[in-house]
Chain A
Amino acid sequence: MVASSPNDAFVAFEHVQKSYDGVQLVVKDLNLAIGKGEFLTMLGPSGSGKTTCLMMLAGFETATNGEIKLDGVNINEVPPHKRGIGMVFQNYALFPHMTVGENLAFPLEVRGMGKSERDAKVKRALDMVQMGEFANRRPAQLSGGQQQRIALARALVFDPSLVLMDEPLGALDKQLREHMQYEIKRLHESLGITVVYVTHDQGEALTMSDRVAVFNDGRIQQLASPSDLYERPDNSFVAQFIGENNKLPGTIESINGDHCTVRLANGEVIDATPVNVSEKGAQTLVSIRPERVEFKTEMMPEGAHTIDAEVMEFIYMGDLFRTRLRVAGSDEFVIKSRNTMGQRMLRPGEKIKIGWAPQDARALDPM
């Protein structure tokens, strides 16, 4: 499913660059191979170039340099209507002057399909998104979630093998968004289509994707599965963009294969795993997930360095406790503990010792 080399890729970007004004590159040397049937998400802050990549793939923007291949064929010069790629737009782009049925029949009609075949396909697509009753409604008469389903059905009705989605759930409320995430995932699995999904919502990216490409500043910062991305970020940008993250700046004290010690600003030493630092004395930013920090001595890993912390704030969040600590001079350090039977609730002002397994603390570039 996951394409490792550009040769067996279904969609491939090869050294693609894009500049709108000829001065600034919005996309800088993009290389990306997407396998057939893969669900790939392009994740990144706005202006990171992810939507531009999607538009180039759809054919609405031309690549300034490089090649885009679909199923092994260069499609740089193929106009959008001949690419046969389904697309779901951010605001659905359902044609307001047509009924739902006419909207769905449109791609079939322009392909010259006969009426009876058209009707059958439209009906099947509507049933697929559980909207069979709504064929005669106008888009304006539907709720946001219903419009979303219709947009999805319209992008799928002509059986494309590749479907692009440009922040399709951005306009929905939280509950509906989560529901639609599963719906899209289910469709992806049952139809075996390839999906390229653009979003700036990391939760969405982690929930749905086979792989996630994190974009920043026109480059892919990391391309990995959701678990790798969360647990083993390659650099500080990815670590901070995905999930909550504690940062401890310091210098490398010793480095030994996949283990290092880092001296923090106040002189304390902690354990970490070197990721993109290589030499002693280099500046680094150690990143630790809040839920991987331990404060109960009996749970602490063998031989781990511990450091002093003072509880600043305790927040009861239901399933979780979120505690803000002062660590190494900064009071932005957060730990999360599950609300299990007998879990300790820390009190502000309490002095504790914290520690972690060295593989959970990643020494990254200082940004």
Chain B
Amino acid sequence: MADLAANDPVLLTTSDGRPLQEALAQAQSKAKWRAFMLVAPLLAFILITFVSPIVQVLHQSVYNPKFSENMPQISAWFDQNPNGTEPDEAAYTALVADLVAAGAAKTVAVAGERVNYEMPGTRSLFTKAGREAKKLQPPFMESLTKLDENWASPELWGVMRRVSHAYTGDFYLAAVDLERSPTGSIQQVPENERVYVNLFVRTFALSAAITFMCLLIGYPVAFLLAALPMRYASLLMIMVLLPFWTSLLVRTTAWMVLLQGQGVVNSLLVWAGIIAEDQRLVMINNLMGTMIAMTHILLPFMILPLYSVMKPIPPSYVRAARSLGATSWTAFRRVYLPQTIPGIGAGGLLVFILSVGYYITPALVGGASGQLISNLIAFHVNKSNNWSLAAALATILLASILLLYWLYDKLVGIDKLKLG
């Protein structure tokens, strides 16, 4: 009888006759909905404060309507006439009409700014024309070039044609030191204007160096933390965490006090007779200052994941290796070190990602040679007002970090990452 029941499954029902499967699904869906409602505020918070700004930045890096919105008629003319068409009277008429309208709406400077990104020195051309345009008489080709002969420049017209499209990849070109030649082909910018590629290289190289320094200093500290008796370990832990709880600005300025020419470190060295008075080391407002201060500031981010990985490794592993005939170095290299790789990966990734985007410390102690890409992004946001270029730089930074993350996943495996 039991066999019969097993071979011929009866439809299970609830006591009031509904199919059990359906009733269970319904009961569970209610629980799932309730669970979703619990995380909904967090989800909304993340969407509003994290995802949407990133999407906006991404959009901004390829979309800049400053010219096309404020100069609609000349933009339309560019659309109707293919590249290479000599600007005719109709073009000038449209241009002047736009200048008049934009001048009245006080937006001509905005349009000029967009052209100015591509062709420095043209901003004033636009603001001046904006003021004078309404006094001009047809034929406009003649009267506008009379106002300023630069209006006849083929280069200017080439640039205006390019910026007349709101969607453009030009900011990405600029972000990697490339530009479009007047004929439309892509070329490198003149050597003395190349900034960004070098800065990216410097940022990544410095971040790698800082990560390495943090690992070098942090590994023994984390090992001690894991190996010492509780009493000493908690004291050491406080020493690690105390700077972590101190304001970033305080720590950075403390380094300024220590490292400057008349600072503590130099004075001690002079006092000890190691260097002469006129040989004071330049340790700040350069790459070295950035490196020292950032290594110190980011050290806890390396120590804590390492510690959390080392803590549960029982001492019997190394003992076993020793009893099996390994020297202490072999035991470390073959048995201990491989087990701390998840911590090295997590700490390294954390420190590297943080230092790639670090802003305050390089801005304060980096001087000219210690500036990182983030400082230039800040410059384009705050000073030059070229948000699209800032967005393009930031997007490249984001993409390279995602690439790194993907690479880490391929090589080590993201499931091995252990942050604490």
Contacts and interface: CB of A to CB of B under 8 A. Distances in A.
Interface stretch (A105-113, A199-207, A332-340): A105-113
Interface in B322-381: 322-328, 330-331, 334-335, 338-339
B336 to A, nearest CB: 10
A194 to B, nearest CB: 15
B325 A84 contact: yes
A322 to B, nearest CB: 39
Contacts of B319: 58, 60, 80, 87, 89, 93
B316 interface: yes
Given A91-B316, A110-B330, A158 B324 contact: yes
* From B316, B319, B323, B335, residue with most partner A Cβ within 10 Å: B323
A319 B335 CA distance: 49
A97 B314 contact: no
A96 interface: yes
Contacts of B331: 81
A79 B329 CA distance: 13
A85 interface: yes
A106 B321 contact: yes
Contacts of B338: 97
Contacts of B324: 81, 86-87, 106-107, 110, 154-155, 158
A193 to B, nearest CB: 15
A89 B321 CA distance: 11
Nearest to B330: A110
A79 B319 CA distance: 11
A106 B322 contact: no
B323 A95 contact: no
Interface in A58-95: 58-60, 79-87, 89-91, 93, 95
Nearest to A157: B324
Given A96-B339, A110-B330, A86 B316 contact: no
B322 A60 contact: yes
Given A87-B320, A106-B334, A93 B325 contact: no
A158 B330 CA distance: 17
B320 A97 contact: no
Contact of A93 (B316, B327, B328): B316
Contacts of B327: 81, 110
Contacts of B339: 95-97
Nearest to B341: A97
B330 A85 contact: no
A107 B321 CA distance: 8
Contacts of A85: 323
B316 A110 contact: no
B326 A93 contact: no
Contacts of B316: 89-91, 93
Contacts of A95: 317, 320-321, 335, 339
A126 to B, nearest CB: 16
* From A58, A60, A84, A106, residue with most partner B Cβ within 10 Å: A106
Nearest to B317: A93
Nearest to B334: A106
A80 B317 contact: no
A81 B323 contact: yes
B310 to A, nearest CB: 14
Interface in A115-160: 154-155, 158
Contacts of A87: 319-320, 323-324
A96 B322 CA distance: 16
B138 to A, nearest CB: 83
Contacts, number: 67
A47 to B, nearest CB: 17
A52 to B, nearest CB: 14
A104 to B, nearest CB: 10
Nearest to B323: A87
Contacts of B326: 81, 106-107, 110
Nearest to A154: B324
A97 B324 CA distance: 16
Contacts of A97: 338-339
B314 A81 contact: no
Given A84-B325, A158-B325, A93 B330 contact: no
A265 B335 CA distance: 62
A157 B319 CA distance: 17
Contacts of B320: 87, 89, 93, 95
A107 B322 contact: no
A158 B338 CA distance: 23
A9 to B, nearest CB: 21
A121 to B, nearest CB: 13
Contacts of A110: 324-327, 330, 334
A140 B238 CA distance: 35
Interface in B300-325: 314, 316-317, 319-325
A154 B339 CA distance: 19
A107 B331 CA distance: 11
Contacts of A93: 314, 316-317, 319-320
A340 B383 CA distance: 101
* From A79, A80, A96, residue with most partner B Cβ within 10 Å: A80
Interface string B202-234: 000000000000000000000000000000000
* From B319, B324, B325, residue with most partner A Cβ within 10 Å: B324
Contact of B323 (A86, A90, A96, A111): A86
A209 B325 CA distance: 27
Given A89-B316, A93-B317, A81 B335 contact: no
A123 B376 CA distance: 62
Nearest to A166: B316
Contacts of A84: 325
Given A96-B339, A106-B334, A81 B317 contact: no
B420 to A, nearest CB: 20
A154 B105 CA distance: 85
* From B319, B321, B325, residue with most partner A Cβ within 10 Å: B325
21 contacts: A79-B322, A80-B319, A81-B323, A81-B327, A81-B328, A85-B323, A87-B319, A87-B324, A89-B316, A89-B319, A90-B316, A91-B316, A93-B314, A93-B317, A97-B338, A97-B339, A106-B324, A107-B326, A110-B327, A110-B330, A158-B325
Interface of A: 58-60, 79-87, 89-91, 93, 95-97, 106-107, 110-111, 154-155, 158, 164
Given A58-B323, A93-B319, A97-B339, 8 more contacts: A59-B323, A81-B322, A81-B326, A84-B325, A85-B323, A95-B321, A111-B325, A155-B324
Interface of B: 314, 316-317, 319-328, 330-331, 334-335, 338-339
Shortest 6 CB-CB distances between A and B: which pairs? A107-B324, A93-B320, A93-B316, A87-B323, A80-B322, A89-B316
